[in-house]
Structure formats: structure tokens, C-alpha cells
Amino acid sequence: MIRLIFIVLIGLSLSQKNILAVEQRAHVHGLASITVVIENNLLEIEVESPADSLLGFEHQVRTEEDKSKLNQTELLLNKPDQLFTFQNEACALKTARVNLSSFVINRNPKNTDHHSHEKHYSHEKNNTHTHDARGHKHKHKDIVVGYLYDCQSTQRLESISINLFAYFPRIEEINVMWINNDTQGAKLITAKDNVISLN
């Protein structure tokens, strides 16, 4: 359902000043996107970002520093109460979808097959782009995480503060699109202007 609403939101964003729907689907380091859907008393938030903007790299873990950064990022993404602040409404987290396993090489040490049949989380996106005249390719990876909340009354939810900038300084802008029972909108936010009004 969120995908259908997401498509509607992309259409709506075409009419919003300073927001380009083309950027929503492009892999641009420093630019993330958030979709907020409110239906009845449920609130769903989906965050999509280039891995580089969250981790500082897009390759599989190679060093202890990479491993530490991956673990820190995964822990933080599993604490959405630090990433989002809801004004005038108490919402309880029901589920969180956070999976960064595609950045870990050979999670199963018993697997010696070089052609791993491991299925990766379906919401991690890979894009291959040619970057030089010799045809060397670099895989871009996007990370998609999602959160589902149960709220007492979403009618009282006036705004959401997006706090990702404080924890992920490589994110420069976030294209936020939302739809609720009464309204919809879109806004390009920054660290200095990180609140979306839902009314």
C-alpha cells in the first residue's frame, strides 16, 4: 500500500516548489528521501538514502573501521525515537525494518560457495554506473528502512521533526513527502529546517 501512496506523492511533488521528483529516484550522495503515510491511527515512515550518506561507504565491510561504522549505524537506525520527534501525539513503535546484511561478507562461515545463494533484504537497492572511460563500474547501494507506529489519535499529530541530520552529517537534504487522512504535501528539508507540518 505504501508503494501506491508513494507514487501518488511523487505526482504531487511535481507541483511543489523547490522539489524535483526526478531527484527522488536518483542516487545522489547527500540527498535522502522520506515518505510518511498516516492512515487511521497508523503512521508509517520509510527512509531511503544512499549508503554513503549513512555509512560513509557503499561497499561490503572491508576493515574493522567499516565494521564498527556498520554496527553503529544499524544500532542507531533501530532507535527511531532518536531520529523522529512527534509533536502533540504519543505514538508507539510497532515494527522496524532495518537490515544491513548485504554489507557483510559471508555472514555464514560454513558457506564456502563463492556463488552465495543468500537472499538479501529486498529493500536494499543496487545501481551500477560506469564512472570512467575504461568502463570500470561502481555499485551504488541505497538503504531503505521503515518504521510502523500505532498512535492514539493521528488527528492530533501536528508535526514531525526529522533528526537524521544530527546523526548522519553526510546527509545534506531530505526530500520528505507525506499523506494523511486529510492532507498531503512535500518539502525539501535541511538541518536548519527539519520540521514538517502535517496540518
From CA 65, how far away is CA 114, in angstroms rounded? 25
The residue count of the chain comes to 199
CB-CB contact of 76 with 82 (8 Å): yes
From CA 54, how far away is CA 71, in angstroms rounded? 12
Q: What is the DSSP string of 84-104?
A: EEEES--EEEEEEE---GGGS
pLDDT exceeds 60 at position 181: yes
Residue 181: half-sphere exposure toward Cβ, Cα within 13 Å: 11
Segments making up each domain of the chain, as ranges: 2-101+137-197
Q: Of 102 and 196, which is predicted with more confidence?
A: 196
pLDDT at residue 178 in the model: 96
Show Cβ contacts of residue 25 under 8 Å, excluding neighbours closer than 6 positions.
10
CB-CB contact of 141 with 124 (8 Å): yes
- Residue-wise pLDDT for 119-148, tens only, equals 333 344 554 444 444 444 557 788 999 999
CB-CB contact of 170 with 158 (8 Å): no
- Residue-wise pLDDT for 69-98, tens only, equals 999 999 999 999 999 999 887 899 999 999
From CA 173, how far away is CA 194, in angstroms rounded? 9
For cell 570500470, the residue is: 136
pLDDT exceeds 60 at position 10: no
Q: Of 159 and 58, which is predicted with more confidence?
A: 159
pLDDT at residue 4 in the model: 45
